[in-house]
């Protein structure tokens, strides 16, 4: 399973479309899960990533599923992990997750997939500024897209100096440049099993937390919250009691 993340406007959807085209040319069945931001007012989502991938909509070898993030931070929706597992079990050769445009520390996609490609573009500033944005730390592969922009060579050089151990691919997705090279590097990282054990550690931790949360009713949680807010309870003791009761 592969993740594609980066700041808004980095060209993720264009890259995803090009990658799907490349993988289909290799005869691979592809599932693409595109996460879009939800409206803070209506709760709905435009699902624009599905619209941008329309060239693949009639291809029976491609499954595209749009998901609204429902206000969840991190670039993915709560059900994204389950959807990737379902697609994998259905026999898709490649499962690609394209996130909401993310910013600092919003890198939950790294906890959903085994290999994460972080897309950046020239103009972000030097590598130190990019590092401060947080998302580069999640990268299994760095992708510098829109390499036809001015200053691209200097930006690439700066990133290579700061992240010498991380594979870096230069692309111009709108022109189809670098797509095949990116597909090859992603496959190589996938074959290496990059992050697989860590991925399942994160996933199982999330599963555990979900099970614990489901064991406490909303009414019980509200009652405890009001007690603590009024100064009549110790939150640490209450939570310890809940965990103890669930263990029993």
Only one residue has tokens 């949680």, namely: 221
Q: How many domains does the chain have?
A: 2
Same domain membership, residue 217 and residue 154: no
CB atoms within 10 A of CB 10: 23
The DSSP line for 64-131 is EEEEE-TT-SSSS-TTHHHHHHHHHHTT-SEEEEEPPP--TT--GGGGT-SEEEEEE-TTS-SHHHHH
> Average per-residue pLDDT in the chain?
80
* pTM to 2 decimal places: 0.75
- What's the confidence (pLDDT) of residue 107? 54
* Residue 141 and residue 64 share a domain: yes
Does 131 lie in the same domain as 44? yes
And the tokens for 244? Answer: 């103890």
Q: Is the dihedral of CA 103, 106, 107, 108 positive or negative?
A: negative
The CATH number of residue 102's host domain is 3.40.50.300
Determine the pLDDT at residue 110: 60
Give the pLDDT of residue 232: 92
pLDDT band at 242 (very low <50, low <70, confident <90, very high): confident
- Identify whether the C-beta of residue 88 lies closer than 8 Å to the C-beta of residue 64: no
Same domain, 162 and 224: no
Residues 148 and 190 both lie in one domain: yes
Q: Which domain holds residue 213?
A: 201-247
pLDDT at 101: 61
Rounded to whole angstroms, the Cα distance separating 155 from 194 reads 26
Q: Which residues contact 49 (CB under 8 A, 6 or more apart)?
A: 13, 16, 34, 35, 36, 66, 98
Q: Look at the chain and count its residues.
A: 248
For residues 98 and 19, the answer to whether their CB atoms sit within 8 Å is no
Distance CA 141, CA 172 (A): 16
Cβ distance 12 to 96 under 8 Å?
A: no
pLDDT on residue 35:
80
């Amino acid at each position: 399973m592969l993740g594609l993340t980066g700041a808004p406007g980095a060209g993720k959807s264009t890259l995803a479309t090009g990658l799907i085209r490349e993988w289909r040319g290799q005869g691979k069945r592809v599932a693409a899960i595109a996460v879009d931001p939800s409206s803070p007012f209506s709760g709905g989502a435009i699902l624009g990533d599905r619209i941008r991938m329309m060239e693949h909509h009639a291809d029976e070898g491609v499954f595209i599923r749009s998901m609204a993030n429902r206000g969840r931070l991190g670039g993915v929706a709560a059900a994204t992990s389950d959807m990737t597992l379902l697609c994998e079990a259905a026999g898709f050769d490649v499962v690609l997750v394209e996130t909401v445009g993310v910013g600092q520390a919003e890198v939950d996609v790294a906890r959903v997939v085994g290999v994460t490609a972080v897309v950046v573009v020239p103009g972000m500033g030097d590598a130190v500024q990019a590092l401060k944005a947080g998302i580069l730390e999640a990268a299994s592969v760095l992708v510098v897209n829109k390499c036809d922009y001015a200053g691209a060579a200097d930006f690439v050089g700066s990133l290579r100096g700061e992240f010498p151990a991380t594979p870096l691919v230069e692309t111009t997705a709108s022109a189809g440049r670098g797509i095949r090279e990116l597909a090859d590097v992603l496959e190589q990282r996938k074959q290496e099993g990059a992050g697989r054990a860590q991925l399942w550690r994160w996933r199982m931790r999330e599963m555990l937390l979900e099970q614990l949360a489901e064991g406490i009713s909303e009414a019980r949680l509200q009652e405890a919250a009001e007690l603590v807010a009024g100064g009549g309870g110790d939150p640490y003791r209450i939570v310890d009691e809940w965990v103890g009761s669930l263990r029993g």
